[in-house]
Amino acid sequence: MKIIEMHLLPVKLQLKNAFVSNHETVSRREVSIIGLKNDTGIWGYGELEAFSTPYYTPETQRSARLIIKETLGPLLKNVQINQPEEITNIFSEIAGNQMAKAAIETAVWDLFAKIQKKSLAVLIAQKIHTKSRRNVPVGISIGAKSSFAELKNAVISANYQGYQRIKIKVTSAEELNLIKKILQVFPDSTFMIDANSSFSLKIASKLAEITAPNLVMIEQPLRTTDFVDHSILQARITTRLCLDENIFSLDDVRTAYTLKSAQAINLKLARVGGIANALAIINFCWEHGLLVWCGGMLEAGIGRATNLAVASLLGLDFPGDISASSRYYSKDVITSEFMLARGMLSVPLGLGIGVTLTPKYQQALQDTTSFL
C-alpha cells in the first residue's frame, strides 16, 4: 500500500463545561483531523490530540501540524507500507513529536483495518494475540472543584450515569481534605485522584493520609519529568501511584518499573506515539505486573473511537478515561455518538475505527490541499 494524499483539518470544539486541571483550564478544545488516502482510494482517519498550549506536553496543535506537514508527511511519499507497525520505524529518526507521529500512525492503522475488512479493535487484538471485547468498562474524569458541595454533586452525577470509576482532579493540598470527605461519603464508589504534578515530597505525609479501600491510586502527584522522587514517595505511602505525564515511551515505563516509581501506568496513545508503541507498553506492563489502563485527552470522535479500540483489549480491565460523547461536546465531528450503558461504551462494529465524519467535516477535510 502507498499513501497518495494526506490532508489536515484544524477543528475547534466548544466544551459544555470548562475542564480544570493543574496545567490549565480548557473551554474550547482544538484538535486536527488527519485524512490519508491510499493508492486504491481507501481513506483512513486519525486525530491530532496536542493541546493549543504547551502546558501538558511540549507539542501544541500549531507546532505538531507543522511537523506533520514539513517533516513526517514527506517521509511517507512513494513509500510502500506492508504493515501499520512500519510507520513507527519510518518515524524513528525524528526525535520526540509523539503526538504528531501518533496522528498519522493511527490513521494508517485505520487504513489497514479497512483494507483487511476488519474493525480496528479486532486488528489490534490479533496483533497482541488476545481478543477484543464488544463492551468496554469506562470511568469519568472530574475537573478540580473548589467546594465540597460542587464535588459531591459531580460525584452524584457520575454515579447516576453509571461510570464504573471516578477520577477527581486536584490542584492543591487543601483540596485533599475534600477528597477525604468524598471517600467517606461514597464508600461504594471506586475513586482515584489526579494531581497533574501539583505536589512535592514536602507533603508526602499528607498524601500518605489519603488512603481508603475505595481509593485505587494517586496519579502523577509530582513533577512531570521525575521518576526518582516518585520512587521515594511510593515507598512511603500505601496507595498505588500511577504515572501519566512522564510516560512518552516504553523506555520511560522500564525506568518507572526499575526504580519502582509507580505501580500503574496511564497509557495515552497520542503521548506515546501511537498504537504500535502502546501495544509494546501494554505487553511490558502485563509481563511485569504493572496495572496499565487507557487514559483520555478530551478527544473528539475520531480519537475517542481509536482509543476505545485499544481499550477493548481483553486484559485492559481497569476502567479508562473514555467518557460518553455527550459528556464534553454538544456537537462532535462524527455522525454517531458513544452512549453510556451500564458503565460501558460499545466498540463500533464497522470497518476500521467504525465511525464516520459528518458531511460537513468530511467535505472540509477533502477540500484542504494534500501536502503529500
Cell of 301: 470522535
CA distance 315 to 62: 36
10: nearest Cα among 67, 71, 65: 65
| 202 is annotated as an active-site residue | no
163: nearest Cα among 350, 344, 355, 372: 344
Cell of 77: 511519499
Beta-strand relationship, 140-142 and 215-219: unpaired
| 268 is annotated as an active-site residue | yes
Quickly count: other Cβ atoms within 10 Å of residue 190's Cβ.
17
- Which run of H or of E encompasses 122? helix 120-127
75: nearest Cα among 86, 83, 64: 86
Paired with 32 in beta bridges are 10, 48
Catalytic residue from among 101, 169, 181, 206:
169
CA distance 130 to 196: 32
CA distance 198 to 159: 26
306: nearest Cα among 29, 57, 31: 31
Catalytic residue from among 77, 114, 268, 331:
268
348: nearest Cα among 309, 300, 298: 309
- Residue 249 in contact with residue 272, Cβ under 8 Å? yes
Quickly count: other Cβ atoms within 10 Å of residue 114's Cβ.
22
**367 — phi, psi (to 5°)?**
-80, -15
Q: What residues are annotated to the active site?
A: 169, 268
